[in-house]
Amino acid sequence: MGITPETVERLARLSCLSLTERERENMAADLVELVDCMKALAALDSGDGAATPAAPEGLREDRPIPSMDREELLACAPAHDGESYLVPRTVG
């Protein structure tokens, strides 16, 4: 499982990160060190598989309650038209 700048490029695409060539090289060196540390983990016997986190103790009741203030939520938007968030075009 060698880590190369090409590996980093693939991981960056999966992670939706745009990296410069220098960043790819530096990250490759860093990841080699980190993955080397994790070799001890890879050597473990995983037994009967991953333990799953404890299930929530109980979900809250499914009933409508007041939500947040529209104006306050719109204030968080990078752009809005007074009613809705304006987002970059994703289709067409």
* 75 contacts other proteins (rule: CB under 8 A): yes
Nearest approach in angstroms of CB 22 to other proteins is 11
Nearest approach in angstroms of CB 3 to other proteins is 8
Nearest approach in angstroms of CB 27 to other proteins is 6
List Cβ neighbours of 5 (8 Å cut-off, separation of 6 or more): 21, 24, 25, 28
* Residue list 4-43, contact with other proteins (CB under 8 A): 7-8, 11-12, 14-19, 23, 26-27, 30-31, 33-35, 37-42
State how far the Cα of 58 lies from the Cα of 8, in Å rounded to an integer. Answer: 41
State how far the Cα of 63 lies from the Cα of 48, in Å rounded to an integer. Answer: 39
